[in-house]
A and B are shown apart, each in its own frame.
Chain A
């Protein structure tokens, strides 16, 4: 196959919790067929490994991270399925573990998860479900391992995620008062792409448990974000922050997660602003995100550029002819100036939208787009001088 640089080979990043399809796309499937997965993983790894020897230290560092990501994702794609999880000259013989008590099981599994050894954690959890078949606790452990693996990006194969969800449902049915089981179930509903059912699950948990845990509250927010329901997402985010306020350790995390969920959604769906309604929705949502972020520095940093854009997006910028303005002003003894300004001004969001949609070097666009916060929230990078070949 000719050594051409295809788009998927160049992709160097994935979302923190990629979907199965996103991971396959990372490895070029499609356009290649699924049976090319192993070959594509190897090819991408080779290409990026070659970059780790580049003469540019920044490039070397980035390439090392991407090689690590490729390794992690390729292992996560196969983990738990019995497939080969990576290159190696030898395979170890892993002795079967036997657990005297459930406490033993939790201790062992927690240690594996803490050490990021999800292969061992899955093995132990599976072994426990064989040792204690049809048992709520062993099902709970298995569901927890798969959920933790999914959320850390280490267990991503659909069959394993489905297996985990099955176990979570058994655990919820048999031990509905255990909040961890609900948390695993909701997490694994997300993992299996059953987001609307995740919302229902949080409602069921609310009816069964004395209170929703901070994690369930955040998961509820996440579910509304994932189903593109910003109104409910904001309500859920505010509720999450309110109801976790009593727990000093949890509240900062909840604020941070709620903020990042809201900001993530609005950045993807509301920018660039395309209408007055869009502007109002953006301003509202940024306001809620800002409230959620209060007192948590990293969350405040995340929302700050959006707050600045929300405050300035509807400011009007003169976009008419400067020469005509000067001429009319002199002609009318400056009486026409405010009228001409008002008539020939455009809200900043419209100027930016025009500039993004149609490549232009016009002055107004460059003025609006120049501040870093505008470029950051819109994920653009403008250069203000041109030279070179």
Chain B
């Protein structure tokens, strides 16, 4: 590295947290979801996950070699991006989709801007939005029936749920015995990972709580076609990709606000946009776009939601005190 002298602003407190340590925690937290995906969808799910992860790591390595920057594959951030992208895809997807998606996520959404920390959208979500635009049919219809692993026809549970039909027992939803993307099937596995991250202090509770709370409230109010205040908030949260998004994608350090208040607004905004797209938009699910759009708004949130420092006074009050103090 050329930078021998590193100049940064205070504070200069050192914490034992490193990028590598945090990313390793995220990888560990993703293990239950991956295991659940492989149990329910078998080898195909494993292939998708491996393809996207390997593609992410290899693209990062090749790009950094090509532009002669230090190789940062060892910090596991590429692994996290790859696994997350794999989890957003359906199990029956052709393997070039995760491969191209991961390469796009790493190179275009992250490395072009200078690597980890400079990207303004979550790379995994950008990759998903890209493959969704490029191969909409592959990404929204290559479902497999869980356990039997044959190609499924018909609507996903989320689709049926939006139409007001019954969608199976809560136990099935929690364990993951249903159609869906790799990472949206087993709610228990995702929650396990999410709780691990919360306990380890890797993520802040505000974003997931605000996000899922807003979404649940919205589903309760608008979730039932033709009637207000009769929706089923629990199924509204468990179906679709909201859990995975709330715990693993919306909480990305680089692309979410830094202030506690800002994080709450971020979660509420993502919840509202998810609802908007899920119920009134063209796409079956809005989690990807909701978080991407809030990523875009993050710099503005950080700009306008500034915590009051100790001793802060409103302008008028400050001027009055100054006047009186000057007697």
A interacts with B: no
A interface residues with partner B (beta carbon < 8 Å): none
Task: Name B residues whose Cβ lies closer than 8 Å to a Cβ of A.
Answer: none
